[in-house]
Structure 1
Amino acid sequence: MTATHVITGAGSGIGRLIAERLAARGDRLVLVVRDEARADDLASVLPGSTSIVADLARPDALAAAVQDAADVADLPDAIDTLIHAAGIVDLGHVADLPVAAWTEQLAVNLVAPAELTRLLLPRLRAARGQVVFVNSGAGLTAHPDWAAYAASKHGLKALADALRGEEAEHGVRVTTVYPGRTATPMQEKVHAQEGAAYDADRWIDPASVATAVLTAIDLPRDAVISDLTVRPGPR
């Protein structure tokens, strides 16, 4: 039976590779994208995928977007996996970060995943499915300049931990993956913010993180990978 996966952040980086791997094995993809142009772009490279058009910076609009997808794109009644791979980062000292930097990162990195999960839980329960949160090493340890981003990712860990306990009775598995620095466009942006030269070869290949996510998804139903940390290997 073909599995159905809802994925955020499939436009680039880790989310894109996860989507490509799942599409290659014939699974059905429902991609959460910020606008119709991105939906068209992804449909051209991931034929057969459908979209939920929603700006994750506006979690309050997600309910309407999911309903539209259910009406127009025939969103399945059962969803096997919800993969949260989208995220934004804006570094800075606590003394310097404006309110907008806090609110946007918390909205995209924490509130939107919580709301999207809430909206799709009936479909996840129907499939006895799985929620996968692609978190960050910053979700475990906060360093200087990373306060807002780390706060959003610490919150995402709390969301996953609470959800895991709440949904066990419904057969829904919950996994958090904590990648270290990974060679993605976001990492390039981080280096620019840090004023550091970017060398992709120093960091984790995003394909390795995608492999970790698929390992958690494909694990037999008698077990769950609850937390998985992925770090750069020795060079």
Structure 2
Amino acid sequence: MTQEAAHQPYGTPEVPRVAVRGEAHLEVDPEIARIGITVNARGTDRRTALEDLTRRNNTVLDLLKSYGEPVEKIETGAFSITPELTRHGRGERVRAYHGRVHITAELNDFTALGELTTRLADLELTRVDGPWWALRPDSPAHGRARRQAVLEAVQRAREYAEALGADLAALIELADLGADNAVPVAMAAPGGAMRAMAFGAAEDTAPPLDLEPQRQTVHAQVNARFTMTPPRL
């Protein structure tokens, strides 16, 4: 290839170029599940509410940790103690204090997930949300999708060349969609779609929930440019 042809963005009659996009969409089983736990407490004074919240929070943490390796990560998020005001005569006074703490747990064992979710929901003044199904950031599924997208790009370019009676000659550029100012497509939200559940206290111990993992869609797109032999028109 001459230096002049290499700088021609659209190729030349002697060294034509073909630009294609390769795409892959895989459906795979999730690898982790996240649940959110909100622990509530109420007391007539601040100390009582705080002590009650601390006790309930410790109960939840102890239950999560008792599952060992299936619970990969436990994180405490927002914490609050809020006074509830009521009007009394011409002024205001504190009627009660409300405490709240939010905990997030990440599990890799979906069999344990159903039992744990039910046991958490059985605790007083405890709300459970989720699960949010997801893949790990380093999941092999992402690599498989990228390789499939590249193979599709090569196949598509070869088909265009063959339609012109030409052959692919060389790869000029390979880029992730967006790396060369292309417009990215809409991607799935992190963690995939959510199945939401909210529970309060239960009078009797409930049987474990049967939670079916939601398959995840992995996307990969690449832009590729090739040179090809002169077509036979």
Same fold (TM over 0.5): no
Higher helix share: 1
TM-score (norm 1): 0.22
| Bigger Rg over Cα | 2
Flag the structure with more relative contact order, 1 or 2, with Cα contacts below 8 A and sequence separation at least 6.
2
